[in-house]
Structure 1
Amino acid sequence: MVSSSSFERNLEEQLRLVGNGLLNAPSSIDELLTCLDHAEVLLENTEQEPSDFLLDALFPVMKGLRAEALLKHSNEDVRVTVASCHSEILRISSPGQPFDDDQMKASFQLIVEAISKLSQPSTPCYEKALSLLATFARVKACLLMLDLECEALVLQMCQHFWLIVRSNPSADAFWAVEQIMTDVLNESEDISPDLLHPLLASVLKENERVAPSCWKLGEKLFSKCAAKLRPILRGALKAKGTTLDDYSPVVASIYQDEISVSRSDLSAMPAVSSRKRRGALKSDVERARDEATLVPRDLRDKKMRLSTRGRSNPSEGPSGI
């Protein structure tokens, strides 16, 4: 049995090697993917709050992964793998911010692009994108997006989510989408019409038959985010020219509750500042670790065994979840 210290020494050595490889990225796509796949496995095996010597070994990897040549690489598999590595760095650093604001925005842009691949289950990088999405959901990385005021990117991500859910996704993908959208709705200081209208459309009665997965997600989000949606529901229905009879009963339930809430009660509700949200993220993440039974088993069993020799076959990438 390999001791913890031996494992960490081996991990440190391999992180330094792969970091040097990324800083001097090969021009061959096959060689580059082999290096990136190796980096992904090493990052998956790095725990949160790593030791100082592991942090030191991580710096070259992180520097290599934020190079513009990788972030904007022409090959789709390369970009998705880089995005997956970025999601693991977010996990390792959570609830902190691993890069500066501009670098974080570039990282989130790449991650959202990778997430969009999940609306096409036949795409070769589907499993890798699914693994990325699960990690993103578990560490509540969307809260960092909100803190950085990436409203347009958050909206784009949620638009991808509705396409993903409409494609009849796996239980794992549905779970991750539900977690992220719940966090986005509950923690957004203002819910824009562009964010609200697709949610309302999902629970139109016709969609119970036409788009049952969207209907299911919409009902769940209305139930879990009722307190946040209630004050804006009346205005949204008026703007759309629809009535309660057009929607799922969950909408009528929330609407009736809104009538009984006075304006003074609403004005007394404190706004959640970005600083408070960022401070609360640590306790949320720690609580999520203790609630592992809420996470589908396939997601909990995601981590792979670390090879002591590295990998020579570029096709032997992470198996996903």
Structure 2
Amino acid sequence: MLIVLQQAAECLHGIEQSPGSSVMEAIQPCLTAVVRKELLKHQDQDVKVLLATCFCEITRITAPEAPYSDDVLRTIFRLIVGTFGGLADVNSHYFSRRVAILETVARYRACVVMLDLECNDLITDMFRTFLEIVSENHEANVVKSMQTIMALIIEESEIIHQSLLHVLLSALGRKKTGISLSARKLARGVIEQSAGKLEPYIKKFLTSSLAGANSSANGHIDHHEVIFDVYQCAPRVLKVVVPYITGELLADEVEMRSKSVELLGELFSLPGVPVLESFKSLFIEFLKRLTDRVVEIRLSVIEHLKKCLISNHSRPEAPEIIKALCDRLLDYEENVRKQVVAAVCDVACHEFGAVPIETIKLVAERVRDKSLLVKCYTMERLADIYKLYCLKGSDSSTNFDNFEWIPGKILRCIYDKDFR
């Protein structure tokens, strides 16, 4: 049986799309034979793969006409989708055939027929299968075909069912367990490619999640993680969430404020990703969390602002960030003052010239801080900057700001009673 099916697949592969009537008459016995019940219900995996190969070729040859009745086509597509799970094993002896099936479905848009047949559950299963099996072991053409099929389904759908959207969004998130990075990339690629069609559905999901509605239905999806990934692949979708996140930043619940600070801090410090125009008001509110009554939140904001400057010290918001940090040099909590010193000095050491000399001198005044912890730490960090300055200064081709005042600043601490 396997030999016959293999010969049939090879024969069908050699026939062009939409052949003449004589060719169609010649292959009609083959088209009839492969849909016999004993074949369609066969449990052998090799038989299923070869049958699926034949069906892909048949749908290609007969397109745009349907070669079988709707019921038979539904059975055929269940068989085809069933073979996709085997793509997880790249060492399978039929892996190349499974790839060929995948590419044929993508290239000839055969998956769109599933919409006409109302195979909604099967389509959802197919999306789930792709996101479960895709891996870094797959060649680019395999991942591209998966993305093409998923995007075609979305673009050609009259409506996007909630179950399908949830499968897609469930693959998003940096902290999601059980989801591979490849799956996350695939989901983001699909969302980016089909952003126009998905936009109203993602907006509805996010607004309902942020408003606390349908929490049971959306419970396994972290809307903050969805926002983080969508920000990078379809940012225009997120304009609608700005008021909700602003509300979270101003909420009485510490945990809610903390999560929002974490989200925005990670977004704003993404390398090469500018602050969206629609998020400018959120950025301002984010900076205001430097005065949050909870010390841990203030510390978190400082750390994220440091990452913002390290990722791009010449960003338009840099002066605003530096000013906001300097304002916290007089915070009543010593750990906050110490964290500001750490942030500014880390940025200065990461890239000379990233921090204005006036700012470093302002930070240096913390050697006179009322806290011995802050005093000592500031001296250590000034020494780090001066050491780096000396090392960099040996490169005569580079012009650096003058840091020769630092040794004197440190030596004057000898007269401080806390250091005697």
Common fold by TM > 0.5: yes
Q: Specify the alignment match of 1:253 in structure 2.
A: 235
Deviations 1:45-75, CA, capped at 9 Å, x for gaps: 0000111111001110000011111111132
| 2:115 paired with 1:151 | no
Q: Specify the alignment match of 2:409 in structure 1.
A: none
Deviations 1:145-193, CA, capped at 9 Å, x for gaps: 1011111111111111112214642222111101100001111222122
Q: Specify the alignment match of 1:79 in structure 2.
A: 48
| 2:72 paired with 1:103 | yes
The alignment partner of 1:178 has SS state of helix
Q: Specify the alignment match of 1:242 in structure 2.
A: 223
Deviations 1:108-135, CA, capped at 9 Å, x for gaps: 1111111121122233321111111111
Q: Which has the larger radius of gyration?
A: 2
Identify the range of structure 1 (242-251 vs 94-103) with the bigger mean alpha-carbon deviation. 242-251
Q: Specify the alignment match of 1:36 in structure 2.
A: 5
Instruction: Report the Cα offset of residue 259 of structure 1.
Output: 7.6
CA–CA distance in 1 between the matches of 2:128 and 2:50? 22
Please point out which of 33, 53, 57 is paired with 1:88. 57
Q: Specify the alignment match of 2:297 in structure 1.
A: none
Q: Specify the alignment match of 2:318 in structure 1.
A: none
Q: Specify the alignment match of 2:160 in structure 1.
A: 191
CA–CA distance in 1 between the matches of 2:76 and 2:175? 38
The alignment partner of 1:218 has SS state of helix
Instruction: Report the Cα offset of residue 258 of structure 1.
Output: 5.6
Q: Residue type matched to 1:186 in 2?
A: E
Q: 1:172 to 1:207 in 2, by over 3 A?
A: farther
Q: Residue type matched to 1:101 in 2?
A: D
| 2:48 paired with 1:67 | no
CA contact (8 A) 1:168 1:213 kept: no
Please point out which of 206, 213, 231 is paired with 2:200. 231
Deviations 1:25-61, CA, capped at 9 Å, x for gaps: xxxxxxx111111110111000001111110011100
Identify the range of structure 1 (245-254 vs 215-224) with the bigger mean alpha-carbon deviation. 245-254
The alignment partner of 1:250 has SS state of helix
Q: 1:253 to 1:69 in 2, by over 3 A?
A: same
CA–CA distance in 1 between the matches of 2:84 and 2:35? 18
CA contact (8 A) 1:40 1:85 kept: yes
CA–CA distance in 1 between the matches of 2:83 and 2:198? 29
Instruction: Report the Cα offset of residue 86 of structure 1.
Output: 0.3
**1:1-321 paired onto structure 2 within 5 Å:** 32-166=1-135, 168-206=137-175, 211-237=180-206, 238=209, 239=214, 240=218, 242-243=223-224, 247-248=228-229, 249-250=231-232, 253-256=235-238
CA RMSD between the two structures: 2.4
Deviations 1:81-108, CA, capped at 9 Å, x for gaps: 0111001001111122111111111111
The alignment partner of 2:164 has SS state of helix
Q: 1:119 to 1:244 in 2, by over 3 A?
A: closer
The alignment partner of 2:159 has SS state of coil
Q: Which TM-score applies when normalising by structure 1? A: 0.66
Q: 1:258 to 1:99 in 2, by over 3 A?
A: farther
Q: 1:40 to 1:245 in 2, by over 3 A?
A: closer
The alignment partner of 2:68 has SS state of coil
- Which ranges in structure 2 are unaligned for 5 or more consecutive residues? 243-420
The alignment partner of 1:81 has SS state of helix
Instruction: Report the Cα offset of residue 251 of structure 1.
Output: 5.8
Q: Specify the alignment match of 1:290 in structure 2.
A: none
CA–CA distance in 2 between the matches of 1:109 and 1:61? 20
Q: Residue type matched to 2:91 in 1?
A: S
Q: Residue type matched to 1:182 in 2?
A: A
Instruction: Report the Cα offset of residue 245 of structure 1.
Output: 7.6
Q: Residue type matched to 1:129 in 2?
A: R
Q: Residue type matched to 2:223 in 1?
A: T
- Which ranges in structure 1 are unaligned for 5 or more consecutive residues? 1-31, 261-321
CA–CA distance in 1 between the matches of 2:85 and 2:225? 32
CA–CA distance in 1 between the matches of 2:224 and 2:12? 50
CA–CA distance in 1 between the matches of 2:103 and 2:152? 14
CA–CA distance in 1 between the matches of 2:131 and 2:107? 19
The percentage of aligned residue pairs carrying the same residue is 31
CA contact (8 A) 1:119 1:167 kept: no
Deviations 1:4-37, CA, capped at 9 Å, x for gaps: xxxxxxxxxxxxxxxxxxxxxxxxxxxx111111
